[in-house]
Amino acid sequence: MHRRTALSVSAALLVAAPLLSACSGGARPGTAAVVGGERITTSALQAQVVAVRDAQNRAEGSAAQLIQSSPGLERVKLNKMIQTAVLERAAKDAGVTVSPREVGEFRQAQLEKAGSSERLEASALEQAQLAPAQLEADARFKLLRDKLFEHYGSQDKALERLAAAAKELHIKVNPRYGVWDAQQIVLGDQATPWITQRTRPEQPAAGA
pLDDT in tens, 72-87: 999 999 999 999 999 9
Q: Which residues contact 19 (CB under 8 A, 6 or more apart)?
A: 13, 40, 44, 81, 84, 85
- Which segment of 7-11, 12-16, 33-37, 180-184 scores lowest on mean pLDDT? 12-16
Asked, for residue 88, whether it belongs to a domain, the answer is yes
Q: Specify if 83 maps to a domain.
A: yes
Write the CATH number for 37: 1.10.4030
In a domain, 70, yes or no: yes
pTM above 0.85, yes or no: no
**Total of domains in the chain:** 1
CB 9 within 8 Å of CB 155 = no
Q: Does the residue 81 lie in any domain?
A: yes
Answer whether residue 199 is part of any domain: no
Instruction: Tell me the pLDDT tens digit for each residue of 162-199.
Output: 999 999 999 999 999 999 888 788 887 654 444 443 44
Is there a domain that residue 195 lies in? no
pLDDT at 106 over 90: yes
What is the domain extent for residue 26? 20-187
Distance CA 53, CA 98 (A): 29
* Domain-located, residue 24: yes
